[in-house]
Amino acid sequence: DSGVTQTPKHLITATGQRVTLRCSPRSGDLSVYWYQQSLDQGLQFLIHYYNGEERAKGNILERFSAQQFPDLHSELNLSSLELGDSALYFCASSVELGGPSTDTQYFGPGTRLTVL
C-alpha cells in the first residue's frame, strides 16, 4: 500500500460525458502527478501540481483539467469523453520540498475508465 488513494476504482461511462477522478496523496506529500496509461500510448504524464499550483503540463488534452485543493487532494476532470480516452489513470505523489522530480513518486492503484 503506497498511501495514495484513488477513487473510484472503476468508471464506465458513455461518449460525450464528463467524469471526475479523485486522488488523495500520501500524508505530507505536496506534489501530485496525473498519468494516463493505455495499451497503445504507454504511460503518459498529464500534469503536475505542487502545493495547489500547477507546475508542469505534459500530454494533457484541452478537454482534461485538474486542480489541487488546499487539503492537497487532487481531481482530474475529463469532459466530452471519447472512446480513445478509455485507459488507466494514475495519480502519484511525492514530497518534493524543493527541486522538482528528484523525489520518489508513490503511485495510487489507479482508476480504470471505460468509455462506451
The smaller minimum CB distance to another protein, of residues 56 and 116, is found at 56
Cross-strand pairs, 34: 47, 91
Q: How many whole angstroms separate alpha carbon 86 and alpha carbon 10? A: 11
In the shown chain, the binding pattern of residues 18 to 37 toward another protein, with x for contact by CB under 8 A and - for none, equals ---------------x----
Cross-strand pairs, 107: 92
Grid cell for residue 46: 498529464
114 in contact with another protein (CB under 8 A):
no
50 in contact with another protein (CB under 8 A):
no
**Which of 78, 106, 113, 115: binder of another protein (CB under 8 A)?**
106
**Which of 2, 59, 77, 80: binder of another protein (CB under 8 A)?**
2
Examine residue 25 and say whether the peptide bond preceding it is cis (omega within 30 degrees of 0): no
Give the residue among 89, 59, 85, 94 at the shortest CA–CA distance from 76: 89
The residue ranges that bind another protein (CB under 8 A) are 2, 4, 33, 42-43, 45, 48, 56, 58, 90, 92, 99-102, 104-110
